Amino acid sequence: FDPSENDLLDGLNPQQKEAVTYRGPALLIVAGAGSGKTRVLTHRIAGLIASREAWPSQILAITFTNKAAAEMRERIQHIVGGAADGMWISTFHSACVRILRREADKFGFTTSFTIYDSADSKALIKRIVKSLEADVLGFTVSSVQSRISKLKNELTDVDGFARQANMSDPRDAMFLDIYRQYTQSLRRANAFDFDDLISQTVWMLRAFPDIAAQYQRRFRHVLVDEYQDTNHAQYSLIRELTRPVEPQHVPPDTRMELDERGGIPGASLTVVGDSDQSIYAFRGADIRNISEFERDFSNAKVVLLEQNYRSTQNILSAANAVIRNNFDRVDKKLWSDGGEGAKIVGFTGFSAHDEAQFVADEIHKLRDAGQSYNDMAVFYRTNAQTRALEEIFIRSAVPYRLVGGTKFYERAEIKDLIAYLTALVNPADEMSTRRILNSPKRSIGPATETAIWDFANKYGITFRDAMRRAGELGLGPKVTGAIAQLAKLLDDATAGLDIDSPTGRKTVSQTLKTIVKGTGYLEKLLQTGNPQDEARAENVEELISVAAEFDKNNAGGSVIDFLTDVALVAAADDLIDESGAVVLMTLHTAKGLEYDSVFITGVEEELLPHRIAADEPGGPAEERRLFYVGITRARKRLHLSLAMMRSQFGETAASLPSRYLQEIPEELIEWRVSPGAAGGRGGYEQRSVASARKPLGSEGYGTAGGYGRSSSDAGSAGFSSAVRFRDSDAGRETAPKAKPKQKWINEVTGQMRDNSGMELVAGDRISHVDFGEGTVRAILGSEAKRIAEVDFDSAGRKKLLVKLAPIEKL
């Protein structure tokens, strides 16, 4: 196969061509969304292989998700054919697992180590926090988990923390204890948590220069996509892998070109990124990795890309207008020649259901106009928002697929079966063994678990060995039998994994079936008659099909390989199935993807920016980047929607339009409003009335000029700049550029209304500009979200947002 140079460069613009063909030690491609960064990276790799400058095995490409990796591999295969095999294209985590599966036995683990996902490490932390009674000092499982994660992402291990901790502070001392026990437990269980995968690899490369040299010699080209989201540990990994090979580690018979010292020059490094899309600061991502790239990697060549090939100009203008409000950034001039395109559609519903109905209706319309479902995507900030969307989608017959969310692999029954498999291949992983001890129920209670544990400690044997000696535990015959039976089941299944066993090694699905059958797991679920158990049984069957699929695609693949795959599926990887369905996913997951039509839902204060980010330094700026990422996923159509009332955190409260909406020039958005508020019009009416059954919706929303007293008002005036609120963030952010709109100015006084200080209690009489006089019945919510339920003398019962309603106390 020998593609002509032209194939690879066809259709690329001059800057893209330069980025594809540049040769040198370090290349940085910085550019806004949709400018072809990923495409350039792909063509660059294909070019290296096609021109025979590099063997596929000399290439390491890092993508953000396994799905992106698969896509890139496919695209490269398309360009250079089978030559692409042997390339490492993977996520940071997958690449590190691959390295650790070869090297972990060099430092006290075995290569069949277990990977703890977030739930596993939570369970472990919970146990430690409990045993140390750390909650007394205010430690919670999640606070400990995120602190440990942060430390590992900064490559601070237990000793490192001990050095920086203030040991006279009891909290630091306690945390050190927790961190130490956590680390020791993982090691004992022969397990790595997610952050370990990277930090331990870095540590290993630093501790074993000869091993590091093998990888440095191997990878001659390292390429990283989405570089803006790398954290310190990931950065260090790249750093280690691209170091020059010291002369003493150069094999005498090498055919590689040597530098003047007799060493081998470091790999050439290409990174692509967009600091405006950095959305993982909370996981330790550091934008400085981009800005300091040129300092860290001398002679780095920088290429800027400015043409966007993804979106229409309207969408791009909105994105530019939003991101411009982040200070401390280099302004990019992103342009598109894709034409103006359709206006952005804005929609305000009464409730989340109303909003979801709008989305469903638009999806049907787009579909009728010829778009297929899998060209559409719905984004949200929090997983909780999916409930309303799913309910309405089911009712409206919109085929959809949820990406991430309550992940399949996080369900209890799936975790149980995964724990069985883990216990087979890693008997040291006591947590897995303990998990399955009484799942399905076999009357082995906590007291028995403790007895096994004590016995193991007393004789210095593993938990699993103690189970094998059930007869010596001094327990009743029934329990003893149950333990012995489980131990035998595990041992038999383990024997089946032996490649030399008389019947040959069992496949993953066979092994899984043996377990399901031997334990009666499925049977027991089917017997209860509980519909939830039926769903669980379906999941068990689904897992067996997943395993069968794995066996089919990975001839000779082991249980360890299967478990590795399972541990590393990231949210976006659920996308691999390209069936005809609309995808639903979080904004975080949407990074790097593109769709013809995009719906961003819940564009409200408290959600976007999320309430926990709103008051953090840099929080609103990071949330704005998230919004920017969402907007720039759209090729042709973008919909921004919100709901006036939303149930969140267990309470229903009025919501305010997101501050970011004001930043989009109004001529780019065409606002629609749910007509249930006041008559309404157009084809939307019927369904909206139906969906506005919720009492709050049908009662209307009594703020003058609020979310549209009549559809015509709201339709023309829109909500985008409707609300102005005091920017808690003042000083950190530039002030909103758009002016508050007329509609939100009190019709009587001409002032921006703010009743925050009005003290209202049930029984008060008030007067409303439109509804006349009435009696307050109840006050719900608090502060900016205080809602008054008022019985008006002639207008009936209404709910008003106190802060903004045109009311006066009588």
Q: What are phi and psi of 576, to 5 degrees?
A: -55, -35
34 marked ligand binding residue = yes
Does residue 594 have an active-site annotation?
no
Closest approach of Mg ion to the CB of residue 716, in Å: 38
677 marked ligand binding residue = no
Please, which residue, 46 or 417, has the CB nearer to ligand ATP? Answer: 46
Stretch that binds ligand ATP, among 6-14, 529-537, 568-576, 731-739 (CB under 6 A): 6-14
> Encoding tokens for residue 177?
């204890």
Q: Are 144 and 193 in contact (CB under 8 A)?
A: no
31 marked ligand binding residue = yes
Closest approach of ligand ATP to the CB of residue 603, in Å: 20
Closest approach of ligand ATP to the CB of residue 276, in Å: 9
Scan residues 304-343 and list those touching ligand ATP (CB under 6 A). Answer: 309-310
C-alpha 454/C-alpha 467 separation (Å) is 11
Q: Count the alpha carbons within 13 Å of 536 in the hemisphere toward its beta carbon.
A: 23
| Residue from 5, 11, 53, 111 in contact with ligand ATP (CB under 6 A) | 11
Q: Are 678 and 657 in contact (CB under 8 A)?
A: no
**Annotated active-site residue in 120, 193, 225, 375:** 225
Instruction: List the x/- string, 161-190, binding to ligand ATP by CB under 6 A.
Output: ------------------------------
The amino acid present at 379, given as its one-letter code, is: F
| Residue from 33, 50, 129, 250 in contact with ligand ATP (CB under 6 A) | 33
Closest approach of ligand ATP to the CB of residue 71, in Å: 10
| Residue from 27, 36, 336, 378 in contact with ligand ATP (CB under 6 A) | 36
> Encoding tokens for residue 575?
């996308």
> Encoding tokens for residue 672?
């629609």
Does residue 37 have an active-site annotation?
yes
The dihedral of CA 190, 192, 198, 203: what is its sign? negative
634 marked ligand binding residue = no
Q: What are phi and psi of 404, to 5 degrees?
A: 80, -140
C-alpha 380/C-alpha 587 separation (Å) is 6
Closest approach of ligand ATP to the CB of residue 34, in Å: 4
Please, which residue, 34 or 427, has the CB nearer to ligand ATP? Answer: 34
Closest approach of ligand ATP to the CB of residue 522, in Å: 43
Instruction: List the x/- string, 548-587, binding to ligand ATP by CB under 6 A.
Output: ----------------------------------------
What single DSSP character describes residue 515?
H
> Encoding tokens for residue 261?
């010292």
Q: Report CA-CA distances (Å) from 111 to 120, 426, 462, 476, 492.
A: 19, 10, 19, 38, 22
626 binding ligand ATP? (CB under 6 A): no
Please, which residue, 305 or 607, has the CB nearer to ligand ATP? Answer: 305
309 binds, among ligand ATP, Mg ion, none (CB under 5 to 8 A by kind): ligand ATP
Please, which residue, 123 or 304, has the CB nearer to ligand ATP? Answer: 304
Task: Considering only the C-alpha atoms of the chain, give the largest distance between any 2 of them, rounded to a whole number of Å.
Answer: 96
Please, which residue, 224 or 424, has the CB nearer to Mg ion? Answer: 224
The dihedral of CA 527, 530, 534, 535: what is its sign? negative
Does residue 277 have an active-site annotation?
yes
Please, which residue, 39 or 401, has the CB nearer to ligand ATP? Answer: 39
Please, which residue, 38 or 199, has the CB nearer to Mg ion? Answer: 38
Please, which residue, 190 or 278, has the CB nearer to ligand ATP? Answer: 278
652 marked ligand binding residue = no
785 binds, among ligand ATP, Mg ion, none (CB under 5 to 8 A by kind): none
Name the burial class of residue 649, with classes exposed (0-12), middle (13-18) and buried (19+) by CB atoms within 10 angstroms of its CB. exposed
38 binding ligand ATP? (CB under 6 A): yes
How long is the chain? 810
35 marked ligand binding residue = yes
Please, which residue, 333 or 458, has the CB nearer to ligand ATP? Answer: 333
What single DSSP character describes residue 339?
-
Scan residues 536-555 and list those touching Mg ion (CB under 5 A). Answer: none
Instruction: Using CB positions, name the residue nearest to Mg ion.
Output: 38
Does residue 276 have an active-site annotation?
no
C-alpha 675/C-alpha 641 separation (Å) is 15
- Helix axis angle for 232-241 and 92-103, nearest 10°, is 60
Please, which residue, 31 or 766, has the CB nearer to ligand ATP? Answer: 31
277 binding Mg ion? (CB under 5 A): no
Please, which residue, 310 or 646, has the CB nearer to ligand ATP? Answer: 310
Strand partners, 736: none
Closest approach of ligand ATP to the CB of residue 541, in Å: 37
Of 513, 515, 540, nearest to 526 by C-alpha is 540
343 marked ligand binding residue = no
C-alpha 354/C-alpha 357 separation (Å) is 5
- Residue written as tokens 């049930």? 762
183 binding Mg ion? (CB under 5 A): no
Of 214, 226, 205, nearest to 96 by C-alpha is 205
C-alpha 677/C-alpha 694 separation (Å) is 12
**Annotated active-site residue in 16, 277, 422, 601:** 277
Compute how many residues bind ligand ATP; rule: CB under 6 A: 19
Does residue 220 have an active-site annotation?
no
Scan residues 627-646 and list those touching ligand ATP (CB under 6 A). Answer: 632
Q: Count the alpha carbons within 13 Å of 99 in the hemisphere toward its beta carbon.
A: 30
Of 630, 638, 568, nearest to 593 by C-alpha is 630
Q: Are 630 and 608 in contact (CB under 8 A)?
A: no
> Encoding tokens for residue 1?
């196969």
What single DSSP character describes residue 494?
H
**Annotated active-site residue in 37, 367, 381, 672:** 37
C-alpha 263/C-alpha 252 separation (Å) is 11
- Residue written as tokens 């602190």? 147
**Annotated active-site residue in 38, 422, 507, 632:** 38
Closest approach of ligand ATP to the CB of residue 574, in Å: 19
What single DSSP character describes residue 244?
P
Strand partners, 468: none
What DSSP string runs through 129-185? HHHTTGGGGT--HHHHHHHHHHHHHTT--HHHHHHHS-TTSHHHHHHHHHHHHHHHH
**Annotated active-site residue in 103, 120, 226, 606:** 226
Scan residues 21-80 and list those touching Mg ion (CB under 5 A). Answer: 37-38
Scan residues 254-313 and list those touching ligand ATP (CB under 6 A). Answer: 274, 277, 309-310
Closest approach of ligand ATP to the CB of residue 67, in Å: 13
Residue 650 contacts by C-beta under 8 Å, 6 or more apart in sequence?
Answer: none
421 binds, among ligand ATP, Mg ion, none (CB under 5 to 8 A by kind): none
**Annotated active-site residue in 633, 637, 659, 785:** 633
Of 624, 656, 627, nearest to 732 by C-alpha is 624
Q: What are phi and psi of 180, to 5 degrees?
A: -65, -45
39 binding ligand ATP? (CB under 6 A): yes
Closest approach of Mg ion to the CB of residue 37, in Å: 5
Stretch that binds Mg ion, among 163-171, 588-596, 637-645, 713-721 (CB under 5 A): 588-596
796 marked ligand binding residue = no
592 binding ligand ATP? (CB under 6 A): yes
183 binds, among ligand ATP, Mg ion, none (CB under 5 to 8 A by kind): none
SS3 252: coil
User: Is residue 609 reached through a cis peptide bond, with omega within 30 degrees of 0 on the bond before it?
Assistant: yes
592 binding Mg ion? (CB under 5 A): yes
Stretch that binds ligand ATP, among 31-39, 618-626, 648-656, 677-685 (CB under 6 A): 31-39
The amino acid present at 90, given as its one-letter code, is: S
Tell me the binding residues for ATP.
31-38
Tell me the binding residues.
31-38
**Where does this chain bind ligand ATP (CB under 6 A)?**
11-13, 16, 31, 33-39, 274, 277, 309-310, 592, 594, 632
Residues designated as active site: 37-38, 225-226, 277, 633
**Where does this chain bind Mg ion (CB under 5 A)?**
37-38, 592
